[in-house]
Amino acid sequence: KQEVTQIPAALSVPEGENLVLNCSFTDSAIYNLQWFRQDPGKGLTSLLLIQSSQREQTSGRLNASLDKSSGRSTLYIAASQPGDSATYLCAVRPLFLHEKLTFGTGTRLTIIP
Amino acid sequence: DTEVTQTPKHLVMGMTNKKSLKCEQHMGHRAMYWYKQKAKKPPELMFVYSYEKLSINESVPSRFSPECPNSSLLNLHLHALQPEDSALYLCASRHGGGPYNEQFFGPGTRLTVL
């Protein structure tokens, strides 16, 4: 059974710093991995989708990497801003039953002004 | 336009009430989803519709009844809910026909069952 873990569960960093969020998964049989952010009480906003054949995807200040063989993905946020404060979730789409995204446990990020 | 809309934003209902949640998208997506999310937990899949047919039911109690009247609209009918059903209900959609596409979520309906 696929398990997706995000460590740490919570992270606080001063504004302006670069930071990395981690996502680990146990089964490498995936189509892709998607990163989301969620503000309190709100829906999920898609940030980046990275296919299993890709190593990186970039959007603005965000860069996601994927190492399928080691079961790891990272989300790099450059020059952090208070507006980046949110919970970040990664989710993998499995090869089998691909309609069922498996979500990570999330990292709650706080950017300190 | 990558928007999934949900109504209402908030819903308070008693255990004997019947209510419905509505989800709409106009992106031409053919896969639509209902998720339930409790506080500080990731979303849990409830139902998947693919090309307007129910393809996955994650053993959800029958007091939750999904409906997909057309390719743009997804409903979740609620009846005789329990207080533990209080949660954020999220709708999502994705371009159907393959596993490579991005999934988009709506803003959710915050449900409170008294």
Q: Do B105 and A44 touch (CB under 8 A)?
A: yes
Kindly tell me the number of DSSP H helices and DSSP E strands found in chain A. Answer: 0, 11
Shortest alpha-carbon distance between residue A62 and chain B (Å): 17
Strand pairing of A30-38 and A44-51? antiparallel
- The answer to whether A92 faces chain B, any CB pair under 8 Å, is no
Pick the residue from chain A with its C-alpha nearest to B45: A100
Residue B22 has pLDDT above 70, yes or no: yes
The CA–CA distances, whole Å, from A78 to A18, A24, A50, A61, B22 equal 4, 21, 18, 5, 37
- For the stretch B78-99, pLDDT in tens is 999 999 999 999 999 999 767 7
Pick the residue from chain A with its C-alpha nearest to B46: A100
Q: Please list every residue in chain B whose beta carbon sits closer than 8 Å to the beta carbon of residue A103.
A: 42-43
Round the average pLDDT of chain B to a whole number and report it.
94
- For the stretch A70-107, pLDDT in tens is 999 999 999 999 999 999 999 999 988 888 999 999 99
- For the stretch A28-63, pLDDT in tens is 999 999 999 999 999 999 999 999 999 999 999 999
